[in-house]
Structure 1
Amino acid sequence: MFKFFRKIRQRLLSENKFRKYLVYAVGEIILVVIGILIALYINTSREELQQQQYTLSIFEQIRKDLVNDSFKLGIDIKKIETTNRYIIDILANKIPDSFYTAINETTYDDADVRPLRSLCTDFVAFLPNTKGYDLLTALNNKELVNDSLTNSIMNYYTQLKTVLPEYNKVTVELSKRNIQDYKQYAWFENWALGIYDPRFIEYLQNDEENRKRLAEFYNYNSVNESYWKTLKQSTEKLIEQIDGQSKRP
């Protein structure tokens, strides 16, 4: 093609048709500029498409993280509910003496006995998956993604990073303190090893210090239960928002 244009230029010059040559030269420049603009447009469109696909892949990762977190929260909530229910029953003297006397080396590991062994020492500390969020944050540092979905995701994880550590911290520290207090009792080693010890059952049933520990632990754990349930609802709502965004044309 360049050879073709060169021949036209040479013919016009040889025929001394300067005006036509000038018009032709301007036209050739315009064609070159148009070609460059088209190439830039195609390249820009390709980059924008790649950027959109990468952003969508980040949203998919965030959704996967949220689904896993929601599942984990469901397990944690059931665990907290079980602990709180046992504590309430103990404090309200709803557990009959026959239940305690039936506990022995064989039944100590039964499903309905096992929660009693760690009512105020077994904490739930939720640690969310943040792989997708970290990718989105890195993307926003380069090119700001500003839409309702991105803002919802940012707000969700910002609140999570602000509030969640405090909930984790309180129950973890309280559980550690209770374990330290357990060291004063003769049954501590057996308790730590998960070995049945009738002295520990007696402690659970009658010791006033145990009731105080349980009441204190319930005070914080009931707040945790409420927060964990609210967090699960927020997580599922954000998953629905991501799903709704992905269905848009």
Structure 2
Amino acid sequence: MKFFRKIRLNLLAKQKFSKYLIYALGEIILVVIGILIALAIDNSNQNRINNDNENIYLLGLEQEFQASKTKLTELIAVNQTNYSGSKKILNYMLNTQSAPTEGEFSRLLYNTFSKDIRFNPNNSLLQEMINSGNLKNLSDPELRKKLTNWIATLEDISRQENDLSVQREKVLDMFRTHDTSLRTIFEQTGVNDILELPKSATSLSNLHLLESTTFENNILMFMLTSYSTEQAHYLPLLDDLDTILSTIQKQIRRS
């Protein structure tokens, strides 16, 4: 800086004002260029930091949605098992010539209605991004939109699962009456031994339910809701999940 200052003073002393102005202008240009270079370097560093942060988010989201896909696939399989089981019960009711044994009926009831259906996706990172406003750090606006819609879709899924749970409970409620027996089902399926319950001296049959119109209606409603849960909710949700996962994976920078 002292060197440039001496040059300016020397030009002024010699009254070379035109050269002084040209020199001063050149010096200003050099300063501006230096500032622009510094800003460019700073912006480049910030962009690199932003890209690295985005990649960390994308990798985390990939793991979450992979785990959610596994859960949803397993849940669809359970729902299909429940639907198939209720269909077998209905077939027994319609075809009285091929009635099941007490053990077969108990195992069919247990396998069909013992599991509740609830999709519990891995959304901790996504929720943190939404709550903290970091969702905007994702550069793809279409991905941001899909992730926001994903949360809204899950709320709709939850309502459908509540409906399915209600229909399941209506079937189970029929085993809370005096003329049916949960103990019989427990004894026939081995649950009694797992719970270490004493064995009953007498056994009450549940086969008369196959002649109950109320039981049939409850089974039909359960089947209908189970079918709707898969076809109108779970399968479209699985498609959405695959689309989001594919979009995330395309944007990840692998080291």
TM-score band w.r.t. shorter chain:
0.7 to 0.9
Q: 1:35 to 1:247 in 2, by over 3 A?
A: closer
Corresponding residue number in structure 2 for 1:184: 177
1:224 aligns with 2:229: yes
Distance 1:204 1:130 in 2: 42
8 Å Cα contact 2:174-2:215 kept in structure 1: no
Distance 1:192 1:25 in 2: 96
Corresponding residue number in structure 2 for 1:139: 134
Percent identity over the alignment is 22
SS in 1 for 2:204: helix
Corresponding residue number in structure 2 for 1:87: 86
Deviations 1:95-132 (CA, angstroms, capped at 9, x unpaired): 944x524469xxx7xxxx2x522634632111222234
Q: Could you tell me the TM-score, scaled by structure 2's length?
A: 0.75
Distance 2:60 2:143 in 1: 14
Q: Which runs of 5+ in 1 are unaligned?
A: none
1:100 aligns with 2:101: yes
Give the deviation of 1:140 after TM superposition.
4.4
User: In the alignment, which of 156, 169, 174 is matched to residue 163 of structure 1?
Assistant: 156
After TM superposition, list the pairs within 5 Å mapping 1:27-176 onto structure 2. Answer: 27-93=26-92, 96-97=98-99, 99-102=100-103, 113=107, 116-117=109-110, 119-120=112-113, 122-134=115-127, 136-137=129-130, 138-140=133-135, 145-155=139-149, 157-176=150-169
Distance 2:128 2:103 in 1: 54
Corresponding residue number in structure 1 for 2:196: none
Matched letter for residue 216 of structure 1: M
Deviations 1:51-81 (CA, angstroms, capped at 9, x unpaired): 2222232222222222111111111111111
Matched letter for residue 150 of structure 1: R
User: In the alignment, which of 208, 232, 238 is matched to residue 244 of structure 2?
Assistant: 238
Deviations 1:116-160 (CA, angstroms, capped at 9, x unpaired): 22634632111222234335542345x6845444334444x1551
Distance 1:9 1:192 in 2: 101
Distance 1:119 1:203 in 2: 18
Distance 1:163 1:86 in 2: 26
Distance 1:73 1:176 in 2: 22
SS in 2 for 1:92: helix
Q: 1:191 to 1:74 in 2, by over 3 A?
A: same
Corresponding residue number in structure 1 for 2:195: none
8 Å Cα contact 2:181-2:206 kept in structure 1: no
* Count of aligned pairs between the two proteins: 236
Distance 1:172 1:25 in 2: 81
Give the deviation of 1:48 after TM superposition.
1.9
Q: Which runs of 5+ in 2 are unaligned?
A: 193-198
Corresponding residue number in structure 2 for 1:13: 12
Give the deviation of 1:88 after TM superposition.
0.6
Give the deviation of 1:168 after TM superposition.
1.9
